[in-house]
Chain A
Amino acid sequence: MSDGWVIRNLRAVKGRAYPRIIGAKREPSWLFFEIVLPLFTVAAYAYVYQFMDARAELIGYVVLGGAMTAFWLNVLWAMAAQFYWEKEIGNLQLYMIAPISRMSILAGMALGGMFSTTVNAASTLVIGALIFNVAFHISSPFMLVAIFLATMVALYGMGMMFASLYMLFGREAHHLSNLMTDPVYLASGFFFPVKYLGAWVAAGASFIPITLGLDALRQMFFTGAAEDAFLSLEAELLILLGLCVVFLILAHYSLRYMEYLGKATGRLTLRWQ
């Protein structure tokens, strides 16, 4: 692995992250939609809890979960499905012949996507909290940053692994992303504590990094969240770190295998399937 190879790949990361970050500025109206649209779901679910006289933390969970949907949608549509869109518009073959690792392109997408999505999610969180009077108590800022970063790396690592599968997909890419929206909101407990799904289901859902990430964030943001916790904070951080390693390794091998398969079956440049 020469210095030249490393620099080339770092430039690829920067080059692919650039349009993601700058793109938000070029189309400011998207920013509006990306912040406002999750608020509709947040408002509807918060009113359901309010109507039922639920405890205040549950409304806070809805606001936090609503903000975190931005990351899951970004991973699904702008990471996993991205190679499908690139294939449709004819960019994928350019990535394939470029003398860089596919992981660098995906890492660039992840960094750029993470930046703009964090801005959107934070805005949704703040607006939602203001509308529904949600009070956040941050007990340990260091732990909060550690959990958030571990969740993001594991989540986007998972997105990279999915990207390899989507590389070969036709129209099923769109349907698969659609399919993985609501079921994951359910399994990962975006709008209610995941522990209420039962220990086995919650343990299974923990393979999706955002499940444990959300559970840990709730414990750090809300004082009464301990009774709703699935696992302890330390255990969740440890598992998330493990998922970071597992997903990045799996993504590496999966990308290599799917690229080979795509070349062998001639599907890398096949469009309008």
Chain B
Amino acid sequence: MAVMNDLRTMKNAAWLGWQMEANWADPFLFATYSVVKPISATLILVFMFMVVTGGDTDNAYFSYMFIGNALYMYVAEVLFGVTWVIHDDREHYMTLKQVYIAPINFYAYILGRSAIKIIITTAGVIITLTFGVLVLGVDIFLGDVDWLLLAVSAALGMGCICVLGLALGGITFLTARHSIGINEGVAGIFYVMSGIIFPITALPTWAQSISKVLPVTYWMDSMRRALMPDAMAELSSAAALDITGLGGFSNLYIMIYLAISAAIFFVLSLAVFRFADGVARRKGKIDWTTSY
């Protein structure tokens, strides 16, 4: 019964999230918005690459960069999406207190609202990758894709990002004017340190040590291994150099690392969320508004 209630909460929260994301414009305008934004962000990197190479995109590194940037949308949007639920409901719509005291599982509500973010982001990622393959010759060949690795890696990585978002959501209970900065800061650290658009070997040695602890580094690498195995093999063994910095790790090692990270983050995130929730209740911050 409780599970059915949670599923119903998630379904309705997802529907609410969809309405909030999409019904401000007619469907055509919303579709245009959803396509233009991710593609233009990726094209910045494409032009940077072309300025240096003189227009040559037939290069394993180009595919590495393009895919990393496309997948990074998940990190940015999902992290931001989870915390924005709390900020938006509390500050802008002032409905958080009603949702909070409703006889529903609050986690289910947040997960439902976040699920719609994941679905919209997935559409953006697919459109960007399709554009990359068809127009720019990104090295993804459906016959070569390691589907099992892709499915396991996507599930583990998404789990990791969602639970991290939950911890940041808890912090949002306590901060009004800093949640956006904290989110963007965490996402920014991943962007620089996790081998999103350049291999971690380009970083100074001290930074590479941090990179090798971050689960997003392993997630990015495993997703690339699944989507473009030949190009990754080329990069990992180019001139006997391990350009990616993770060439020595097997797929199994990376999956185990991701699974353990997700489990640790899950426990930590729940603890952070519960602690922040308790503090927010004691200090009366659940229905706190700051006009920000």
Contact = CB atoms under 8 A, between A and B. Distances in A.
Interface of A: 27, 29-30, 32-33, 36-37, 40-41, 43-45, 47-54, 58, 88-89, 170-172, 175, 178-179, 182-183, 185-187, 190-193, 196-197, 272-273
B185 A33 contact: yes
Interface string B201-213: 0110000000000
B239 interface: no
Given A44-B196, A175-B33, A170 B24 contact: yes
A32 B191 CA distance: 19
Interface stretch (B2-10, B42-50, B133-141): B42-50
A51 B191 contact: no
A178 to B, nearest CB: 7
Contacts of A30: 177, 181
B192 A186 contact: no
B234 interface: no
A66 to B, nearest CB: 12
Contacts of A41: 188, 191
Interface in B155-208: 177-178, 181, 184-185, 188-189, 191-192, 196-199, 202-203
Contact of B197 (A44, A182, A273): A44
A179 B33 contact: yes
Interface in B21-67: 24-25, 33, 36-37, 40-41, 43-45, 47-53, 61, 65
B48 A49 contact: yes
Contacts of B24: 170-172, 175, 273
A50 B202 contact: yes
B65 A58 contact: no
20 contacts: A29-B181, A33-B178, A37-B181, A37-B184, A40-B184, A44-B191, A44-B196, A45-B48, A45-B197, A47-B197, A47-B198, A175-B24, A179-B33, A179-B37, A183-B36, A185-B40, A186-B41, A190-B44, A191-B48, A196-B50
A68 to B, nearest CB: 14
A88 B92 contact: yes
Which of B36, B51, B203 has the largest number of chain A CB atoms within 10 A? B51
B138 to A, nearest CB: 16
Contacts of A48: 45, 48-49, 65, 197-198
Given A40-B184, A182-B37, 4 more contacts: A40-B188, A47-B198, A49-B52, A52-B53
A184 B53 CA distance: 23
Nearest to A183: B40
A33 B181 contact: yes
Interface of B: 20, 24-25, 33, 36-37, 40-41, 43-45, 47-53, 61, 65, 92-93, 177-178, 181, 184-185, 188-189, 191-192, 196-199, 202-203, 291
Nearest to B36: A183
A197 B20 CA distance: 35
A249 B291 CA distance: 32
Nearest to B201: A51
Given A172-B24, A179-B33, A196 B198 contact: no
A66 B177 CA distance: 23
Given A44-B191, A44-B192, A88-B92, A186 B47 contact: yes
Contacts of A54: 51-52
A54 to B, nearest CB: 5
Instruction: Specify which of B47, B48, B189, B196 lies most central, judged by the most chain A CB atoms within 10 Å of its CB.
Output: B48
Nearest to A29: B178
A193 B51 contact: yes
Contacts of B196: 44
Contacts of B43: 186
A51 B44 CA distance: 17
B191 A196 contact: no
B36 A192 contact: no
B291 A196 contact: no
A179 B36 contact: yes
Most buried by A among B20, B197, B199: B197
B177 A182 contact: no
Nearest to B202: A51
A43 B185 CA distance: 13
Contacts of B51: 54, 58, 192-193, 196
B37 A183 contact: yes
B181 A51 contact: no
A88 B55 CA distance: 47
A183 B93 CA distance: 29
Nearest to B22: A175
Contacts of A175: 24-25, 33
A203 to B, nearest CB: 17
A163 B219 CA distance: 42
A272 B93 contact: yes
Contacts of A196: 47, 50-51
A178 B47 CA distance: 21
A213 B290 CA distance: 36
